[in-house]
Amino acid sequence: MAKTGIHVSLDIGTTSVKVVVAEYIENQINIIGVGNAKSKGLDRGIVIDIDKAVQSIQRAIKQAEEKSGVQIRSVSVGIPANLLQVEKCEGMIAVNSESKEITSTDVKNVASAAVVRSTPPERQVITLIPQEFKVDGFEGIKDPRGMIGVRLDMKGLLFTGPKTIVHNIRKCVEKAGLSIDEMVITPLALAESILSDGEKDFGTTIIDLGGGQTTTSVMYERELKFSHVEQEGGEFVTKDISVVLNTSLTNAEALKINYGYAYPERTSSNEEFPVDVIGKNEPVKIDERYLSEIIEARVEQIFTKSKAVLDSIDALNLPGGVILTGGAASLPGIVELAADVFGTNVKLYVPNHMGLRNPVFANGIAIVEYVAQLDEVYHITKLAIYDNKKKAVKPNREVQMEQPKPEVRQVQPQEPITEVEIEETDKEGIGSKFKGFLSNIFD
């Protein structure tokens, strides 16, 4: 059952920190407040100065408190996909109670058995997503509590990330005077939030154009199958404008917002506007098409790099096409440019919440929606992660473990390789059009 009440998301981006305060009532999310402060202490999505990042978080929190009238003490914070890895995990236990009725303790124990593994010292477990339970051989069970059985199995996905990134984010939040309710994988929450059921099932690519980096993710069969981070984003467009036109970054950002267009074919060389150029006493006239060509060069480069990664796994053949979102995706003409580069159907996702109809808020809204939908089983299995941080669970007569060889599916940005098992019958049944994608992702 979804958790009712107030949920607060914290999206720590390279260019801005966003806070969304939402009220969840009767399966409905109502946004009641938002904060948006300029980021400091971050570079390409990574915290490089904790104190400056803390100040940015505090400013965004203060704005959100003033607008919502809610005193914020805890948040659900987004974790970027940098060096994200996902492993399949499985666990098995003997049901402990004399009545053989499965309890919450049994669910926690089987999750503990599933997450017992050797994690490299530089990595940290972020979250565990239970996929299904099996009771005495009966599969496809989502919540086994209350059932009768002798053996309980669980299959899930274990998300891990670089310990440095996770620690720095946690440290910033805690130094800002906040506690953390959930640490949410941002591309996972985004996919769950913005995709339709069909897009999740049949496969869709999401490209999140942030300020400092671009995250490309693929969801297929309702699982996040692939994630890749390119260390370029919207602020690189601003820097290009600044360098080419010899103007300040502030002026360049204003030009991008007020006159920018990502598709030169839709612009005119007759439309001109003044630009304050360093070393010139008077503003210089620049035409709309010239500015558009500067923007196009960088955005096309970002898309081309993403396309090379997606081509390596044949993901662009998936029927869901490409969905663009993120702050930099608000540039006019970006959908047309993306369609030319990717050669598939492309659409822009814009949140439809009143006052937040801008893709820059997509991640913040996705986080609160994702957290509000988390069920009791998830919260029970999450306790296994905390327990395993304190001590290792040793297999015994009542708690046993089946530990397959870890299969890394989400990889470093420089090595976009994903692997996961799929039965041959499933692979053959999907149709020849998508066999390339399946063979690259799953073999």
The domain limits of the chain are 85-163+376-416, 234-297
Tokens of 330: 């608000």
Average pLDDT over residues 160-180: 94
Range 85-163+376-416 has CATH code 3.30.1490.110: yes
The residue with greater pLDDT, 86 or 8, is 8
Res. 160: pLDDT tops 50:
yes
| Residues 241-254 pLDDT 10s | 999 999 999 999 99
pLDDT band of residue 97 (cuts 50, 70, 90) is: confident
For residues 36-65, average pLDDT: 93
Residue 419 pLDDT > 70, yes or no? no
- Of 115, 110, 184, residue with least CA distance to 141: 110
Question: What average pLDDT does range 187-211 have in this prediction?
Answer: 96
CATH number of 234-297: 3.30.420.40
- Tell me the C-alpha to C-alpha distance, in Å, between residue 7 and each of 67, 74, 145, 191, 257: 15, 9, 27, 19, 31
pLDDT > 90: what percent of the chain? 73
| SS3 of residue 319 by DSSP | coil
pLDDT at 392 over 60: no
When the pLDDT of each residue in the chain is averaged and rounded to a whole number, the result is: 86
pLDDT band at 118 (very low <50, low <70, confident <90, very high): low
Tokens of 337: 């440019």
**Which residue shows structure tokens 């869901």?**
320
Give Cβ neighbours of residue 72 (< 8 Å, ≥ 6 apart).
Answer: 8, 19, 21, 61, 64, 65, 178
The stretch 302-306 carries a mean pLDDT of 97
pTM for the model: 0.84
- Res 43 pLDDT > 80: yes
Q: What is the dihedral of CA 366, 331, 324, 23, to 10 degrees?
A: 10
* Polymer length of the chain: 443
Give the separation between CA 306 and CA 376, rounded to whole angstroms: 37
- Those residues whose C-beta lies under 8 Å from the C-beta of residue 28, and which sit 6 or more positions away, are none
Of 115-124, 328-337, 342-351, 367-376, minimum mean pLDDT range: 115-124
- How does 65-81 read in b/e, with b if 16+ C-beta sit within 10 Å? bebbeeebeebbbbbbb
Question: Is the pLDDT at 411 greater than 70, yes or no?
Answer: no
Position 72 pLDDT exceeds 80: yes
Q: Supply the pLDDT for residue 436.
A: 52
pLDDT band at 70; cut points 50, 70, 90: very high
